[in-house]
């Protein structure tokens, strides 16, 4: 059996892509999955058996962001949930032939402590552009992994130089973007055609997306009040409640439009010369059509930069988009992302400060081109999903043949 483990929403998306590709290439291969963080919706939607039902917690998976988040998660039953996941892993361990792990060093610990089976590791949390892996992580990768597929070539080269069987075969994040061809009703917008700009909004995928969405909507309204009309398509993760966000917009003074809705658009709101669209299932099309991205997201911001879109971000509210996280994303993406710092670097900037930065970038084609070049360089191209899936299938079959040969050797001759 192949066990696929992931820990994080972006990691779940990549794991889901790998599962689909493996099923496409080797439909006979037995699969089971365990998304460790949140509800694991992208993985569950593949139809693969889930070892232990997921659950969303207040921290959104960012327990290490502060004691208050740990306490909130514990009160919500995190310890019992974690123990249930560990017991599920222990029960399945004897049946596992190979593990495909997408995430951070926690997965290395689980393999070492509870599974002890061959491993293919896709580390997503660290890069030489941000901070390298710690010595114990490098040691565990050397000890446990048959092959490691880092997120960029710089990290792969560094790990390989330390004796880790690391290869860069493409960035899996860049394979996790679907283009469906939705117009989103924005044919009258687009700066490249000399029309009002399209500014994509990425509020994130965790509970803090709701308060952060207010900040983003206020920046959108401020931009159009100061600089002219624009459209703001919002990419909502599947589990986010669009009605809750619609209510927030109404409270902020936005007016809901009554016209028929384009495909993938759940609601359209207007305020002055701003047009804001709440969309689901249109993430790739929003990135593709946008002139600029305003994002308080992790993986999604990185994917936008990888497509060559200028990205603006800032410190938000909640456990993820802290000063530390934003600074790390800046180190990762370099000039591809512009960070708007407020007077207090631990708090969000004003809507006027964000609006001014949007205007500055959209007014300077050279800045946009530089941001696009750096984003593509830092993120690397697609193709990783197919390469990792093929290597996983190849290794699984090799291990299965070895297991069968060993079993046959143990059968006494008559």
Which residues of 209-354 form beta strands (DSSP E)? 230-236, 255-256, 265-271, 274-280, 292-295, 311-313, 337-339
With H, G, I as helix, E, B as strand and everything else as coil, classify residue 312.
strand
Distances from the Cα of 254 to the Cα of 16, 212, 236, 403, angstroms: 36, 16, 18, 63
- How does pLDDT run across 322-379, given as a tens digit for each residue? 999 999 999 999 999 999 999 999 999 999 999 999 999 999 999 999 999 999 999 9
Is the CB of residue 220 less than 8 Å from the CB of residue 232? Answer: yes
Buried b (16+ CB within 10 A) or exposed e, 161-171: eeebebbbbbb
User: In degrees, to the nearest 5, what angle opens at C-alpha 324 toward C-alphas 320 and 330?
Assistant: 100
Q: For residue 219, with 0-12 CB atoms within 10 Å meaning exposed, 13-18 middle and 19 or more buried, which class applies?
A: buried
228: Cα separation from own chain's centroid = 32
Which residues of the chain have a pLDDT value below 70?
A: 57-69, 74, 76-77, 404-414
Please tell me the predicted confidence (pLDDT) of residue 353.
98
Q: Distance (Å, rounded) from C-alpha 113 to C-alpha 56?
A: 25
CB 128 within 8 A of CB 158: yes
- Any idea what DSSP says for residue 189? -
Alpha-carbon distance of 345 to 343, in angstroms, equals 6
Rounded CA separation 413/270 (Å): 80
> In the prediction, which pLDDT does 257 show?
94
Instruction: Please tell me the predicted confidence (pLDDT) of residue 346.
Output: 93
- The SS3 assignment for 20 reads helix
pLDDT of residue 382: 85
- Give the pLDDT score at 193: 82
> What was the pLDDT predicted at 69?
63
Please write the tens of the pLDDT for every residue from 288-322: 999 999 999 988 999 999 999 999 999 999 877 89
Closest Cα to residue 299, out of 103, 21, 69? 103
Provide the whole-model pTM.
0.79
The domains found in the chain, sorted by start residue, are 2-170+383-410 (3.40.50.11720), 191-379 (3.40.50.2000)
């Amino acid at each position: 059996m192949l066990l696929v483990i992931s820990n994080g929403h972006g990691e779940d998306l990549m794991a889901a892509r790998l599962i689909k590709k493996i099923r496409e290439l080797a439909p006979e291969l037995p699969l089971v999955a365990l998304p460790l963080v949140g509800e694991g919706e992208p993985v569950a939607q593949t139809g693969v058996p889930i070892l232990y039902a997921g659950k969303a917690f207040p921290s959104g998976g960012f327990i290490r962001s502060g004691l208050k988040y740990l306490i909130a998660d514990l009160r919500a039953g995190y310890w019992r949930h974690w123990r249930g996941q560990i017991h599920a892993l222990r029960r399945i361990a004897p049946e596992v032939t190979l593990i495909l792990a997408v995430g951070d060093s926690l997965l290395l610990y689980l393999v070492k402590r509870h599974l002890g089976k061959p491993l293919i590791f896709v580390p997503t949390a660290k890069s030489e552009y941000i901070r390298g892996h710690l010595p114990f992580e490098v040691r565990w990768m050397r000890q446990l992994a048959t092959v490691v597929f880092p997120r960029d070539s710089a990290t792969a080269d560094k790990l390989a130089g330390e004796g880790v069987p690391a290869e860069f075969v493409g960035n899996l994040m860049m394979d996790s973007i679907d283009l469906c061809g939705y117009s989103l009703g924005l044919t009258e917008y687009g700066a490249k055609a000399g029309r009002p700009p399209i500014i994509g909004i990425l509020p994130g995928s965790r509970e803090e997306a709701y308060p952060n969405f207010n900040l983003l909507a206020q920046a959108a309204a401020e931009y159009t009040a100061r600089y002219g009309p624009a459209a703001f398509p919002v990419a909502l993760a599947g589990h986010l409640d669009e009605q809750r966000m619609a209510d927030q917009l109404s409270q902020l003074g936005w007016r809901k439009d009554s016209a028929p809705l384009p495909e993938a658009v759940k609601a359209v709101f207007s305020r002055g010369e701003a047009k804001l669209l709440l969309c689901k299932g249109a993430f790739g099309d929003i990135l593709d059509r946008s002139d600029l991205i305003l994002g308080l997201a992790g993986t999604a911001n990185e994917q936008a930069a990888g497509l060559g879109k200028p990205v603006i971000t800032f410190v938000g509210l909640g456990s993820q988009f802290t000063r530390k996280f934003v600074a790390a994303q800046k180190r990762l993406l370099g000039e591809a992302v512009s960070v708007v710092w407020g007077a207090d670097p631990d708090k969000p900037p004003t809507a006027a400060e964000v609006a001014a930065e949007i205007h500055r970038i959209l007014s300077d084609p050279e800045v946009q081109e530089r941001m696009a070049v750096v984003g593509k360089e830092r993120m690397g191209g697609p193709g990783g999903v197919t390469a990792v899936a093929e290597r996983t299938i190849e290794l699984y079959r090799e291990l299965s043949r070895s297991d069968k040969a060993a079993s046959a050797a143990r059968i006494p001759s008559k």
